[in-house]
Amino acid sequence: SGFMTTIHAYTNDQQILDLPHKDLRRARAAAINLIPTSTGAARAVGVVIPELEGKVDGVSIRAPVPDGSIVDFGVHLGREVSVEEINAHFQEVADKGGLKGILRYADDPLVSSDIIGSSYSSIFDSQLTMANGHEVKVFAWYDNEWGFSCRLVELVQRLL
């Protein structure tokens, strides 16, 4: 089981000024506030990995940046693991596994503007990995629109 928080760049459907909205938090100006809101990302985990359906929940915090987002994902595992074990696994999957070209493993100190325009769907930030017994926390950066667009181009190329 786990919890995720996406710290997400504001989007074009958010308010530029404080204006009326049925969700009073989303009524607030996007470029000057951190705005807690719902996320579909936690539900999507269960769709992609059926064994996790109903076991992951989350929240999104819209941040006053135009692009560059990060997900903070904390999980409880069935066994104790180390930071080194976690990072080695993610590096293996990113470099040689089924996520090659989709997941990038990073060991440099990234900030949100560093990942803008990245063709990867996600950039695993190994410097932020934490482990405490069965509890693990990992972080991944993403340029939501660009990474998604790259996956769509790949899909079209496969279909042609």
Domain 73-160, what architecture? 2-Layer Sandwich (3.30)
Alpha-helical (H) ranges within 30-143 are 41-48, 83-95
What's residue 40's pLDDT?
85
| For the chain, domain boundaries | 1-66, 73-160
Whether 73-160 and 1-66 are alike in CATH topology: the answer is: yes
At a CB cut-off of 8 Å and minimum separation 6, what does 3 contact? 42, 56, 57, 58, 73, 74
What's this model's pTM, rounded to 2 decimal places? 0.89
Residue 25: CB atoms within 10 A of its CB come to: 12
Give CATH for domain 1-66: 3.30.360.10
Q: 52-90, pLDDT tens digit by residue?
A: 888 999 999 999 998 999 999 999 999 999 999 999 999
- The ranges of the chain with pLDDT < 50 are none
pLDDT of 97 reads 87
Q: Give pLDDT, residue 93.
A: 95
DSSP calls for 128-159: G-EEETTEEEEEEEE-HHHHHHHHHHHHHHHH
